[in-house]
Amino acid sequence: MKYFAKLGLNSKVKGVRLVSDTDAPTEKAGIAFLHKKHNYPFWVQTFKDRSQRKNYPGTGSTYDEDRDAFIPKKPFASWVLNETTCRWEAPVAYPDDGTIYEWGEATTNWVEYGTL
């Protein structure tokens, strides 16, 4: 089985469809199958194991054609994109002291869980 992301305006992922290997022996064949079945032309193959295209997309992710990667929705305005993984990262490293933290966008820092 193969997975294909349906792309909308600005390459936003609208959903993911599963296609049999018979109907999608190649990415091009899978796109043609989905185009015919759904009368919609914008599809890109994705991989659950992240072996290609960096990340498995969810609704609202973006496909970046230049990077050939799916980029998740940006969780906070202050977070920055890691160009290697194409994932968003906090501008401050998560503390490694055994305490549970959550991101505090107002302070742009990690705060103890439950204190926001």
CA distances from residue 35 to 7, 13, 23 in whole angstroms, order as listed = 12, 16, 12
**69 vs 52: CA distance, rounded Å:** 8
Whether residue 19 lies inside any domain: the answer is yes
Any domain includes 42: yes
What would you report as the CA-atom Rg of the chain, rounded to the nearest whole angstrom? 18
Domain count for the chain: 1
Here the tokens at position 88 are 């968003």
Tell me, what's the pLDDT at 94? Answer: 97
Residue 116, pLDDT score: 67
Provide the residue type at 77 as one letter. A
The answer to whether residue 29 sits within a structural domain is yes
Reported as a single tens digit per residue, the pLDDT across 85-97 is 999 999 999 999 9
Q: Compute how many other C-beta atoms are within 10 angstroms of the C-beta atom of residue 41.
A: 11
Determine the Cα angle at 24 with ends 21 and 27, to 5°: 130
Which domain range does residue 59 map to? 2-73
CA angle 37–73–16, rounded 5-degree value: 20
- Report if residue 20 sits inside a domain: yes
pTM of the model: 0.89
- Within-domain flag for 113: no
Return the pLDDT at 114: 79
Structure confidence by residue, pLDDT tens digits, 11-61: 999 999 999 999 999 999 999 999 999 999 999 999 999 999 999 999 999
- Summarised one tens digit per residue, pLDDT across range 64-89 is 999 999 999 999 999 999 999 999 99
Residue 95 lies in a domain: no
Which pLDDT value is given to residue 40? 97
